[in-house]
Structure 1
Amino acid sequence: MTQTCRDRPGRVEQAVTGVDVMSGRELATALRALKDRSGLSYRVLGQRIFIGGSTLHRYCTGRGVPGGYDIVLRFAKECGAEPAELNDLLRYWEAATEQAADSGLPAAVSAVPAGAESWAQAPLPVAREMFGVTMNSFSGVMPSFRVGAVRLWDSETRWSQLEPARGVFDFSTLDRLLDGAERQGLPVTFVFGGTPGWAAPDGRKAAYREDCRAAPPDDLADWDAFVHAVVRHAGHRIDAYEPWITANHGHHYNGSVETLVEMTRRASRIIRQYRPDATVVCPSVTDLWDDASHAYLLRFAEAGAYQYCDAAAVNLFQRRITDPPETMLEIVRKVERTFQLAGYHLPLWSTGTTQMIQLNDPLDPDTAANHAVRFYLTGLYSRIVERMYFYAWGNSKIPLVVQAEGQAPTKAGRHVERLQRWLTHAEIRSCGRGAEIGLPENVWQCEALTPGLVRIRWTLSGTATVPAGAGAYRVEHLDGTARETGPEDTVRITEEPLLVRYR
């Protein structure tokens, strides 16, 4: 099995093996002590965290270093590690991978996205809210294909539109959207953003047609009053609030971190006053392929923002629109490490994409459909992303369209609905890829109970042929077609996910 080192952005991903440096020995010694303390064998521990026992033995004897810290974290938690021990392990692991990379050790190029380690856990329900969309519409019409949640942004619900003058509110558009979502039983996330010109007359103008600023308001009392007004007016129709949009992008916010933390604190207090059961999602951080964005995320965390939130918003997207969605896992693991450094362990909500998305060429219908489905599967694979909001519903001018308002769902939209039907009332228990789970290297898989066992399989690229496996009786495709199969039959796996049912 080849593990990948993703410690240094921009470097070729490398397999770290044969490490014989001091920090490597420190990591191995700490892992071995935890293993011995647990009283469990390498085989049993490997089964619990979905890694081979021989691979764990290499890590514990210093003959290899895990390619991702999340492997170390899962192992340590299974062995009952204390928080202080987790901090030590992170320090040992970072030093070991750093020195391994600097030592010029033999390396194998990996075509698999960094952070794509396999995992297994006690079965967890797949929440319908996982399958969210951001609404680029203000009509109140909802998607005509199945979705699990909606998020309001670019939907004519900016602060500058809802309160065009101090104390003068126009909630007609918001009401249309909330009423439409309520009719379909869809939970709503409301996103704050777009300071009205009257609240920050000297602030930097935002790129919207109305009088809108990227600056925070000059007087935070205006902010308090607006949050009060929205939460009181919406009542039970809004389930979650995101106190600001893309905190680290000057197009939306160019104020100080400290001011945004204070705005988040105030918003959280007001929201909980009226809706203690609502979810507060800390302002999103975008462009997470860049180290500067992780520095901002760490600064935002160290300033105390996340103590006021129930979840953290991040914008997950590929470097290039044509890249496989699974490459987003590299961002997820980097974010996980950043939060580990900051001492926070919040669920992640993926709430946006790159600001430049509309400048990309459209994907062909088959690729678009495959990527849309795998966008959500990547969230499930990550284990720590609680919701995925596809950007966006209603918009026809982006490379991947699930449904333009007033038109029928595209192939992408129909296939996303089929994926949700596959996972209705499902409990996911493992995800993995390649040799780690006995499959060809380009094959990915998530396994769930529905209550019968199902496996969703797809390739990162290309095709592969695999045995259906013991108990297999049916293969289903995203277009609704299906065929009977048997344990001895083979199944051709492609970039379009398929489902195999087992007795």
Structure 2
Amino acid sequence: MNWADLQLAKDKWYFDLLDKYVQWSMDHKTPILMPLTYTPQWASSKPDAPTDVEAGNPPGLSGPPSDMEDWKNFVRTVATRYKGRIREWEIWNEPNRPQSWSGSVDNMVDLTREASRILKEIDPGCRIVSPAPTGAYGLPFLDKFLSKGGGQYVDVIGYHFYVGKDDPPEAMEPLIEKVRNLMQKYGVAGKPLWNTEAGWLGPNQLPPDMQAAYISRAYFLNWSAGVRRFYWYAWENHRGTQIELTGADNAALTPAGKAFATTQLWMTGSVLTRCASSSDGTWTCELLNKGDTSHVVWNTRGGTTLAIPESWRATSVMALNGGRTGIIGRSITVGVQPELVQ
């Protein structure tokens, strides 16, 4: 849901669908991160600007509002309606892409400042996420946004850590490091960093075992790199993605969907104390949960023998599909999919 969906004309609003989403979020205790993005054509300073971000590609969405008062009224109306129910707001989507934002960085800083002021006025405890660029080519936008003081108006730095369709999850790490370096450069390193959208886009699906491997490895690698949240794109996506989490009914879990659930099980309640790789491509992440230590391991090349240290006191291995096997001897074979050694 975006501005163009919600305010169909200056005096015409449509809230039915977002009301449903918000009620579902309350029922399931699943907080919404709401993007405030995409100018309706009637309010756009560039009503003919092209876009590729919505079904049917209506023009004008990427243009800055021609009147700041329209933007302020939109933010105030939505924030007031959903006060206490939506408490996390992201200012715009992928503003480094001309199809998503055809204004200047200064324009975006202005929108962020005004939205932040209004949102905090209505709900002082809400959290505001910065405009989230995407991919390596989004770094210049973030650099300019932070250099112009945009970081002072947000509580969280948002980014879409997409990597190339042929890149493994480990390619996320250097991109995350570059974003963290920019945060340090402009004095916002103390703010949380969220990956508010990422996945693997492309016309052809990865093999099922690799789909499961990629989603689990991506979550552990983001965690180890200091990313506080990671929003996967997307649970029910069946078009233009290399990784599907559900079947065509949007309910039956694929191997990747089961891997997501298992990864959630491993991560929830745990503290990540260490995550490192060796020269042969083996990754080891150490988890501490209620005094018990376990290890998540994988190898980027697959089929590698790993000697289990005596100090691990490990007796079993849990796979991403939920299966568990006992450890015989002092070594296991590690593949591309993460496994939990306990």
Inter-CA distance 286–406: structure 2 relative to 1 (3 Å threshold): closer
Match of 1:236 in 2: 84
CA distance in 2 between counterparts of 1:222 and 1:374 reads 43
Q: Are 1:300 and 2:145 counterparts?
A: yes
Deviation at 1:489, TM superposition (A): 2.0
- CA RMSD across the alignment: 1.8
Residue in structure 2 matching 1:334, options 175, 178, 184: 178
Contact 1:280–1:311 at 8 Å: present in 2 too? Answer: yes
Q: Which runs of 5+ in 2 are unaligned?
A: none
Deviation at 1:492, TM superposition (A): 1.0
Moved more, 258-267 or 416-425: 416-425
CA distance in 2 between counterparts of 1:350 and 1:216 reads 24
Q: Are 1:458 and 2:298 counterparts?
A: yes
Q: Which runs of 5+ in 1 are unaligned?
A: 1-156, 436-440
Match of 1:174 in 2: 18
Residue in structure 2 matching 1:408, options 246, 249, 252: 252
Contact 1:459–1:496 at 8 Å: present in 2 too? Answer: yes
Match of 2:40 in 1: 196
SS at match of 1:495: coil
CA distance in 2 between counterparts of 1:495 and 1:161 reads 42
SS at match of 2:318: strand
- The normalised TM-score by structure 2 is 0.92
Residue in structure 2 matching 1:262, options 97, 110, 113: 110
- The normalised TM-score by structure 1 is 0.63
Contact 1:467–1:489 at 8 Å: present in 2 too? Answer: yes
Deviation at 1:258, TM superposition (A): 0.9
SS at match of 1:432: strand
Residue in structure 1 matching 2:124, options 269, 276, 292: 276
Deviation sequence 1:458-495 (CA, Å, 0-9, x none): 11222211122221122111111112337x52111110
Deviation sequence 1:23-72 (CA, Å, 0-9, x none): xxxxxxxxxxxxxxxxxxxxxxxxxxxxxxxxxxxxxxxxxxxxxxxxxx
- Superposed, which structure 2 residues align to 1:128-207 within 5 Å? 157-200=1-44, 202-203=46-47, 204-207=49-52
Contact 1:160–1:211 at 8 Å: present in 2 too? Answer: no
Higher relative contact order (CA 8 A, sep 6+): 1
Deviation sequence 1:365-421 (CA, Å, 0-9, x none): 111111111111111121x21111111122111211112553412110111101111
Residue in structure 1 matching 2:224, options 381, 387, 390: 381
- Could you tell me which amino acid in structure 2 is paired with residue 473 of structure 1? T
SS at match of 1:242: strand
Match of 2:95 in 1: 247
CA distance in 2 between counterparts of 1:174 and 1:229 reads 13
CA distance in 2 between counterparts of 1:433 and 1:423 reads 19
Contact 1:468–1:500 at 8 Å: present in 2 too? Answer: no
SS at match of 2:340: strand
CA distance in 2 between counterparts of 1:327 and 1:313 reads 18
SS at match of 1:445: strand
How many residues are aligned here? 332
- Could you tell me which amino acid in structure 2 is paired with residue 480 of structure 1? G
Match of 1:30 in 2: none
- Could you tell me which amino acid in structure 1 is paired with residue 21 of structure 2? L
Q: Matched residues, percent identical? A: 28
SS at match of 2:18: helix
CA distance in 1 between counterparts of 2:71 and 2:13 reads 13
Residue in structure 2 matching 1:443, options 282, 291, 309: 282
Q: Are 1:474 and 2:308 counterparts?
A: no
Deviation at 1:317, TM superposition (A): 1.8
**Structure 1 runs, 4 residues or longer, greater than 6 Å off:** none
